[in-house]
Amino acid sequence: MSGKWTPGPWVVGKGAGYFIKRPNARMAHLVGMTPGFSGVGAESGNDEEARANAHLMSASPELFDALKQMVSLATGPCNTRDMTEALDRARAALAKAKGEGA
């Protein structure tokens, strides 16, 4: 499964602000030029790719939380209710990352 976002891996760099880019890429995806500004872009300048990058970045907290919960359940005791809840959170985070329902 993949989205229309810029393919990974991505790395974090620091210039005038923090930015996200692919190793050896010429253009950053997210640039925080000042504490009050950030923007989302795409290597290709394609608006669809930039929009997909923005959806993926906006879903990152939910993706992190869902993955953390899944790892906890996979390495410790769990029950069907906990697993169902974790899978629901993971599905919702994936849908948000793909821009579905937005």
Mean pLDDT, to the nearest integer, of 24-44?
62
- Band of the pLDDT at 69, cuts 50, 70, 90? very high
Could you report the per-residue pLDDT of 44-54, keeping only the tens digit for each? 677 888 788 88
Distance, CA of 63 to CA of 67 (rounded, Å): 6
At 30, is the pLDDT very low, low, confident or very high (cuts 50, 70, 90)? low
